[in-house]
Each structure stands twice: as C-alpha cells, then as structure tokens.
Structure 1
Amino acid sequence: MDDNIHAPTVPSGPTTGRSATRDLSKLSLTDLREEKERIEAELSALSSVLSSHGVDMNTPLTTFDGFPRDDIDVAQIRTTRARIIHLRNDHKDVMKWIEQRLHEHFANLQQARGTSAAADTTTISATPQPGVTGVTATSEARTVETPFAKVNSVVAGSPADQAGLKAGDTIRSFGGVNWMNHESLTKVAEVVQQNEGRPVVVKVVRKNDSGRTAELTLALVPRRNWGGRGMLGCHLVPL
C-alpha cells in the first residue's frame, strides 16, 4: 500500500506544456501576460475539479486506518494536485519575467524622457468623494500598476457606493491585489472575505468629463447586511 497516498505524484522534467516549449526570456510583456492568464484559467479549472470531489490540496485521501478512500477518485485527485503544483511553479516563473519586463520598460521610459520626467507628472483636481484620500495621476504609476478589473455597476447606498466607486472605474489595486496576482479576481474575493468591517485601500482610474484620466485612492469597507447582495454592492469584471 502507498504509505503517502494523499501526496501528489510529481514527475520530473518540464512542467506546463506550453511553458516547456516557450523561452519565457524571449517573450514580450504582452505575451507574458497572456501566458499568466492561461495558467490562471487552468488553475481555476483544476481547482473546480478538486471542489467537485469535496477536497482541496491538503485533504487526506486515506481513511483513519490508512486505506484509500472509496468515496472519491483518488487517482484523479492525485493527478490534479500534481498538475496544480506544476502550474504554480510555472506561474512563479512567468511572474518573475513580468516583473523584469516592467522594470525594463520603466527604465526605457525614464531614459527616453530624460530631464523632462518631472514635467510628465500631473496632479488633477477633482470634487472630493466620500472615502477619497487623494487624486493624482503619474505615468510611472500607470506603468507599474496596470488596471486589471472594471467596475460594471454600483448599487446605490452600497459599501462600494459610499466609498466613492463608480461604474466605469478601472481597478489597479485592491488591497494587496494587482494585475500581476489577482488570479482572475479570486484574490479580490479573498481580500473582501478577510476584511469584513475593515477598510481596504482601493486604487482606481477614472475618466472625468473632460476626458482626462484621474487616479483615486478610496477606502472601501466590505460588510454584510447593508441592504443588498454581497459585501461590496458592485460588480467587477476582469480586463
């Protein structure tokens, strides 16, 4: 009998098929982002496979006396877990190259701008909104903090509405979540669940009536029983 049947079997060699045949060091930032999104989509699908069995990455696959459980497909679960481990490693590699590409892009931008860099930083005045701590826009922030989600709708009187969030805003950070680690917005949901009743700093990009782009920092407090569905009262869609 396998003494460690609940542990996934991880074969040696290349991990993800596409990543194994692609040299990440030669990919553009756009290609790396596509690879990141592909990996995250597969991770989400594999997570659903585990959930369909009622298990996660750490659920024991043996009975109390050490025999394989007969109420689940142990072989499929082990294979799925192994694939998830591979993809997580691939995801780390992709994120490493994305970070490097961002640094390179920023360095090239700074070099091209030269002494005019300071002139490219703009402060945009706007009517204060509830929960808004500042309104600024800089090309550096746009380079490093690319928006990853769009606010599709906001319910009146909801926590999102009270924080000053508006339909059409794009999210560039939600607590510690950004476009590099949001994992198809699953990390946003985790932040919401972990911060009920506590303010979460949300940085958004908004176009004003004149067409100029403003960057706002909002304080959003997730809470239940505000009179509507969910803890935010808004609908986010990934970009």
Structure 2
Amino acid sequence: MSRNPSKIYMQHVANLREIELAIRHTSRLARAEIASKDPQQSLRSLLRLYSFLVGAWAETRLRKLVHEEFGFSDFERETIQKKSSQLEQWQETVDLAFRKHHSVKKAPLDERSLGVAHAARRAALQDVLLNELRILIEIRNKLAHGQWVYPFNNEGTAVESDKYLLINQENLQSLQFKFALAGHLADAVHDLVVSPQTFERDFEDHFRKLFQVRTNLVTKDYRKYEAGLVSSREKARAARKSSS
C-alpha cells in the first residue's frame, strides 16, 4: 500500500527530528561536562534543558502517532485531543489502539475482551504511562514555566516538594533511561495501531526493552556512569599527550 501522509503528519515529523537533534547535542554537552568534572557549573542547567526536551519529544511523538496515515480516524483523533492533559491523551491513545486491534467498541478492556496476553500488554503500557512518562510530562510543564529549581503549585503560592525532588534528583543517566522508555512505549503503540502484524511479531521485544530499561533505572549506579566518563576523558588526554 502506497503512502501519502498528510501535511500535518510531515510537520510533526520535522518537529520531532529537530527535537531529537537538540537532545543529542544537549546530551553530548552534558557528557562532556561530567567527564571534565563540571568546571563551569553548567551541568545542572543542561540537565534541565535535556529533561525539557525529552518532555517535548514525548508530546510531539504523540502528535505524530495520532496522525499516522493508516492509524486513527478523524473521530478517534478528536476523541484523543479532547482529553485535557497530555497524560490522558496518551492513555486514550493506548486504549483506542487496543480497541482498534481487537475490534472492541464499548466493552471494558480486560481479559475477557482482549485475552489474557493482550490485557497484560495493555496494563504494562499504562503502567509506564502512569509512572515514568507522567513524571517526564509533569517536570516538563514546570520547566516550561521557568521553574527550573523551585516548582510551584498551580496557584503560585508554594513550592511543590514532590516536584522539587523530581526535578533535582534527575541525572543524565536517569533521563536517558526515561527517554528510552518513552521511545519503546511509542514504538509499541505505533505497531499496535498502524501495523497489527508487526505488533504481534515485535511486542515481546518492545516489552523486554521496557522491562530492561525500568530495571536499569533502579539498579544502575550513576557514580559508576560518571566515573566511566571521567576515566575515558583522562585516557583520551593521556593518549594525545603520548602521541604528540
């Protein structure tokens, strides 16, 4: 089947590419600062920028997904876009994708309508949304309003202590893992709604990657990551000196 993507779809693709380029540049700068032990004290700002960009990527990736040529109908797109928050739009996108895949119009999405395996798959995607992706979205919203150190409540009267901890405890490694999680989730939903055969073939791989990244978030030691970057830089400097 030949492709004829819409203009708005191609515009979302262009936006996504630009954001991904910015993410790569920011990641490179942050790694360089870590490797050099942050002499300019710029790492914290770079991490805020990286976090903001990953949140922007998640929103733009959703827009691209919703406008896939062989994906949702106009009515389904409108249903998604009526949701008041980005998290709710992601949740609705996942559920509509499963409804399309299983031809379930109104029945509850559970083991009876989806089968045991697909009900578990839906639960896995929704769990990632409610945890890691929700955090990315909430942090991004605070950063977009200039709250790079102290995130305020909606009334602007007090600092939200939970958001303060979320913003200030992130490091480059954890943000990279969350970016990877968002990517695996988006790929799984894309295959579900656009290419059912690909979903059946590849979802276990998507799920395995999701599980591994979530495990890495908990188990990987940032200090080892940091020490590895510092060591690599020192070895490279020593090699240049010895060859000069």
Structure with higher RCO (Cα < 8 A, 6+ apart) = 2
Task: Give TM-score scaled by structure 1 length.
Answer: 0.32
Larger Rg over CA atoms: 1
**Of Structure 1 and Structure 2, which has the larger fraction of its residues in strand?**
1
**Of Structure 1 and Structure 2, which has the larger fraction of its residues in helix?**
2
Task: Give TM-score scaled by structure 2 length.
Answer: 0.31
